[in-house]
Every structure is written in structure tokens, then in C-alpha cells.
Amino acid sequence: MKRRLIMPEVELLAPPGSKALLLGNEAIARGAIEAGLDVASAYPGTPSTEIGEAISSVAEKLGIYFDWAINEKVAAEIAIAASWSGLRSLTMMKHVGMNVAADAIFTLTYAGVVGGMVIVAADDPQAHSSQNEQDSRHFSIAAKIPTLEPSNSQEAKDFTKVAYDISEKYKLPVMIRTTTRISHQRGIVELGEIQERRKKGFFKPDEPDRYLQVGNIAVRHHKELVEKLKKIEEEVSEKEYFNRIIGDESDYGIIASGVSYSYAAEALRRFNLNIKILKIGMSYPFPRKMVSEFLKSCKKVVVVEESDPIMESYVKMIAKDANPSVEIYGRETGHLPWSGEYRPGIVIEAIRKAFGIDLSLPAINPIAAEISKKAPARSPTLCPACPHRSTGYATRRAVKADSIVLGDIGCYALLFQKPFSLAKVSHAMGSSFGFANGFSIATEQPVVAFIGDSTFFHAGIPALVEAAHHNRKAVFMILDNRITAMTGHQPHPGVNYTATGRPAKEIDLEKLVRSIGIEHVEVIDPFDHKRMEKAVRDSLNREGVSVIIARRECALLTVRKLRQKGKIVPYRVDPEKCTYCRVCINTFACPAFVDTGEKVRIDPAVCFGCGACVTVCPYNAIVPSEGSVNWFKEGIGV
């Protein structure tokens, strides 16, 4: 068949033998589709989100069930039940999502699977969009889940497809562990055959107690699990498909996995170095025999991996018996950094130091270096017209100096920055409401907790029930922007459609909150600054639980609709009225404001024309242009 490059819009359904330019995440989706995926469920989280987005775009056409679940635990349990019914299933999440799903996944390896099941854990070294740099391989070891680590988009597709066969053969889930640069790199991928899917399964336990994890039954299943892993190590991990040695005529070696392998291979190509590499594609069970033979042939070895020195520890243990004299370098010897993601330059420097080879990287272009020095630092900012900015503005005016304001995971986490300087804590999904309970017990300080609508459904409800039961004195604010905004506008139970666009039951937040016995509940448009400020102030002075639902859809959704109608007209600053007091910049900080040094003006290329800033100016200098529409007054976006 003639090779051809497929355009992005049709790549997931392109015929076998075609080539497509795919994100690593899109390649994982294609691999699952080729394997005959029946059911997929996930909670969105960078850097894993595009897997679900890709599957949702073709799910209806292919007959795949896909949904964005309420959280990762529920997503995993949907996939588990589908597997137990004989279907092939997939669940995917970012690294911290593994913490949420762990309770179900740890016990799953005892019960095993029927239909192939793949778990994708997308790690985020450098914490680009996360609260930590957690390494999901710890879960694979602790829960005893066979784990594959692709090093490029082609392997992401191929490993995912093969993972289903491994899963069904050994009756265990298989983890695909990626990192940010694997998830978000693009590469040309050769596509394979798409297998027929089963569509509907049937649950029939092959053993009476297979799915009962209690007492001695669980102990027996654990023994069976250990035996399965021994077989996988002998029959899969030690075979040269996932793990293999590249090159063989050198006393120096590199052991690498994932994107780190690509960096190491690039370094060897760039400097034409004769150093052999042991490429690890299945990192658990670890190929101990293969590593042992590799170490016997080496005097020095560098272990390159993101994020924790897990392979490095294995290699050192194996070296004790295989070759005690071999010198092993990595994180623990200081040759590689302990935090952040790797780059080719970091790996090259590790090779230079460990092997004593003179390697010189090309000098940075002096003009580029000078520009880099002069470029001002830029903090992340909320979008123009973001309702969270108005919530932050009003709350800042209402809270007392000693108030404890708690943030959570979402766009509104940026309210810790100036000029709002509100959130003093941002920890984990739903923790703001949990911490509010604790601070209300431990202190007499006023407590205000922010949480987004999707995060509330994900992990905030139990903490609010706790607060209602004990009548905690705290203000709980649900920032309802009608979507899971931070990860790219995925639906959640608070909207009336599913991931594939089908109608769904919308869960009413106000009714849900009132149903647990909370009486003081207000639903407010955050663009109504005066009412929002008064509501926060009144709630702080009230005993017991108060809930404020700040409801206005994400500005990007509103803008999308308005652009279709051609109705976006920016506001402007009247230079005759502007006194250059800079109150607008210092208290509201919309990125559309421009400080000219003499006056403030509004950049028409940035302004969305929402009018939320009008009431901020004490001199009424912010005025509409001809055709401007005030979203609040016109009821747009609520």
C-alpha cells in the first residue's frame, strides 16, 4: 500500500498503512482503537487530556462508549467493570489522578481482569500544570501493575495496542506511563489494522470468589499475582521487544526509559559516540537478567530516567551480584538533577561528567541570549472577561486581614497572585473544602474556601457534607463557570450533555447543596460586584455554613458564541476622564489594560467587551465603544 501522510482531522480513522502526525496522546488513543477498544472513561487532567478528547471525537462513529467521569476513581471503576464483562477498556489520568484511583486499582490486581484493560498515567516532571512531580512508577511497583514506557509517538501507539494482548494473556491491567514530552510531542506514526470491537459484554465470574477480596481469599489472590508477575518478567520483560540493547562494542553504557532514551540517543548521534544503550520499554517487572548481562559488559553506566531514581536503585541492587566494580551514575550521584524534567543538554552534561568525554554544545546565539535577558517575566493570568477575576475582586474587598482564604485546583488558583493576593493554600483536588473544616476547628479566624464546579463534583462534596453535619463556621464558594475550563472545556455533571455531545441530566448545584441541609445558599453573578462583595461580607459575619455559588460561564465559551454572531466590541478608556490613578490595574488586573505611563488604555485586540471593569473605575473613565454590550446588564453568559 502506498504510504501517505494523513491530515490531522481524519488521522484517528485513517486506513492501515497510512502515516499520521500524532501527539503522543493521540497515538495512545489510536493504539486503543486499533486494539478494539469498547469502553473508555477518564477525568481530564494535563498532560493526559488529549487522549480522551481524541477518543470522544470518534466514539459515536466507532461505537465506543466514552465519558468524562466525575473523578478518576469512578473512571477506573467503570473501566474495571467493563473489563470484568469481557470488554476491552481504557482509563487515563494525570499522575495525581492515580492517587484518587489508587483505592480501586490496588485491589484490581488481586482480582485480575477478563477483557484487556489499560491504565494510562501521565506524569508531569517540572510540574508544568500540576502541584507536584510525582512518579507513577511507584504505583506500578506497589500495586504490581505491569508497566510500559513509550519513548515516542510510534511506540505510544504500538505499546498501547500490545498492552491489551498482555493484559488478556496474564489477566492483569497494564499501565502505560508517559511524561509530558511523550504526551505532547508530535511524531509520524504508521497506523495498523483496527480490530473489531465487542460492544456488549456479559459478567460471569469464572471462579466463585474471584472478585471477593476479603481475608484468606485476598491472601491467595496475592500469591497468584506474584506468580503472574514472574511469568511476565520471564516471558515479556526479558524478551527483546520492549527492552533491548542497542550497540555492543563499548565499556560504557546508558540505561534509559521513556523520553530520556530519546535524549540519550540524540546525544550519541550528535557527537558520534560509541556507547551502548539498554532501552527500557517495560519498566515493571524490571528485566533483571537483561540488566545483569548488560552490567557485566560495562565499566561505567549512566541511568537516565524521569522522575525518580527507580531504575537506578534496581540497577545498583543488580550490580551488587552481577558486577560490583561497575560505576553507576545518575540522580543519586549528582550527575542528573533531582527535580524538573530533562532536556538533551542535561543528558549530554551527565554523559560528559560520568565518562570524562569532552563534549561541547554549540554556543547560544548571542542575539537570542540578549533578547532572552531583556524579555520581561510574565506570570500566568486569567483571561479577559474571566468570571473568577470578578469573584477575586469582590472577595478581596470583603475579607478581613486575618481571613484564611483557601484555593483549589483550577484556573482560580491564580487568585493567589497580585493584585488579589487571596489564596494562601492550593493543595489538591477538593482540599480547599476539607481544609476549611480543619481551620474552622483549629482557629477562630474567618475562613473562605474557593472550589470550581468540576472540582466540587470531583472531590468537594464529601467535605461540604462534613461541614453541614457539624455546622462549621466557614464560607464555601463554588465558582461555577459551567464547564471543566482549565483542561479545555470538558463537560461535567453540572451541564446537560456528555463527552460525545449526547443529552444528559444536569445536576443542579443549588439543589444539591440545599439537599444536605445547608440553608444559607446564594447564587450570584460574579459580574455583580456589589452583591458579591456584600454576600461574602454577610457570610463571614454569619454563624455556621454559608455557600455562595458564583455562576457565570467561562469567558471563552461566551466569546465563542458572540464571535459567531459578530458581537464582540471592546470597551475603551475616556482619556478626558482618566486620572491615571491606576485603580483598574492595581485592583482588577485585566490583561486588556495597558499602562502607557500617562494614561491607562484598553487594548482592543485583547478586550472581549464584557464590561465587567466598568464599575471598577472610581472616575467612570471606562466607557463603551459604539456597539459595546455589557454582558451583565444584557444577561450574556449566565
pLDDT in tens, 144-172: 999 999 999 999 999 999 999 999 999 99
This prediction's pTM? 0.92
- Going by pLDDT thresholds of 50, 70 and 90, the confidence category of residue 369 is confident
- Going by pLDDT thresholds of 50, 70 and 90, the confidence category of residue 10 is low
- Going by pLDDT thresholds of 50, 70 and 90, the confidence category of residue 413 is very high
15-19, 149-153, 211-215, 469-473: range with lowest mean pLDDT: 211-215
The average confidence (pLDDT) of the chain is 94
User: How many CB atoms are located within 10 Å of the residue 293 CB?
Assistant: 14
Cα–Cα dist 439/498, whole Å: 37
> Does residue 554 have a known ligand-binding role?
no
**Grid cell of 292 as nine digits:** 545483569
**Grid cell of 384 as nine digits:** 479577559
Cα–Cα dist 555/488, whole Å: 12
What DSSP assignment string belongs to 158-206? HHHHHHHHHHHHHTS-EEEEEEHHHHH-EEEEE--PPPPP--------S
- Going by pLDDT thresholds of 50, 70 and 90, the confidence category of residue 307 is confident
What pLDDT shows up at residue 1? 32
Spell out the residues 6+ positions from residue 390 whose beta carbon is closer than 8 angstroms to its own. 526, 527, 529, 532, 552, 612
Bridge partners of residue 276, in order along the sequence: 253
* All domains in the chain, ordered by first residue: 5-237 (3.40.50.970), 244-355 (3.40.50.920), 387-558 (3.40.50.970), 567-634 (3.30.70.20)
> Does residue 617 have a known ligand-binding role?
yes
Phi, psi of 520 (to 5 degrees): -90, 90
- Going by pLDDT thresholds of 50, 70 and 90, the confidence category of residue 442 is very high
369-373, 491-495, 622-626: range with lowest mean pLDDT: 369-373
- Taking only the tens place, the pLDDT of each residue in 75-113 is 999 999 999 999 999 999 999 999 999 999 999 999 999
Spell out the residues 6+ positions from residue 336 whose beta carbon is closer than 8 angstroms to its own. 302, 304, 329, 330, 342, 346, 347, 350
> Does residue 581 have a known ligand-binding role?
yes
- Going by pLDDT thresholds of 50, 70 and 90, the confidence category of residue 208 is confident
- Going by pLDDT thresholds of 50, 70 and 90, the confidence category of residue 234 is very high
CA dihedral (74, 181, 241, 349) positive or negative: negative
Residue 342 contacts residue 306 (beta carbons within 8 Å): yes
Strands (E), 356-488: 404-406, 447-452, 474-480
Max Cα–Cα distance, the chain, nearest Å: 83
- pLDDT exceeds cutoff 80 at 485: yes
What pLDDT shows up at residue 215? 87
Mean pLDDT of 43-70: 95
The CA-atom distances, in angstroms, between 408 and each of 82, 176, 555 are 32, 28, 20
Q: One-letter amino acid identity for 192? A: G
Strands 147-148 and 282-284: antiparallel
- pLDDT exceeds cutoff 70 at 3: no
Mean pLDDT of 121-132: 91
List the one residue out of 388, 326, 178, 347 whose CA is nearest residue 260. Answer: 347
- Taking only the tens place, the pLDDT of each residue in 594-623 is 999 999 999 999 999 999 999 999 999 999
User: How many CB atoms are located within 10 Å of the residue 16 CB?
Assistant: 11
Provide the CB-side half-sphere exposure for 295 (13 A, CA). Answer: 25
Cα–Cα dist 492/487, whole Å: 12
What pLDDT shows up at residue 6? 46
> Does residue 590 have a known ligand-binding role?
yes
- Going by pLDDT thresholds of 50, 70 and 90, the confidence category of residue 360 is confident
Residue 192 contacts residue 179 (beta carbons within 8 Å): no
- pLDDT exceeds cutoff 90 at 233: yes
Spell out the residues 6+ positions from residue 272 whose beta carbon is closer than 8 angstroms to its own. none
Mean pLDDT of 497-518: 96
- Taking only the tens place, the pLDDT of each residue in 273-296 is 999 999 999 999 999 999 999 999
- Going by pLDDT thresholds of 50, 70 and 90, the confidence category of residue 2 is very low
Share of the chain above pLDDT 90, in %: 87
- Taking only the tens place, the pLDDT of each residue in 545-590 is 999 999 999 999 999 999 988 889 999 999 999 999 999 999 999 9
Cα–Cα dist 606/626, whole Å: 17
- State the first-to-last Cα distance of the chain, in angstroms, to the nearest integer: 53
Mean pLDDT of 117-141: 94
**Grid cell of 4 as nine digits:** 501517505
> Does residue 610 have a known ligand-binding role?
yes
Burial 220-246 (b: 16+ CB within 10 A, else e): ebeeebeebbeebbeebbbeeebbebe
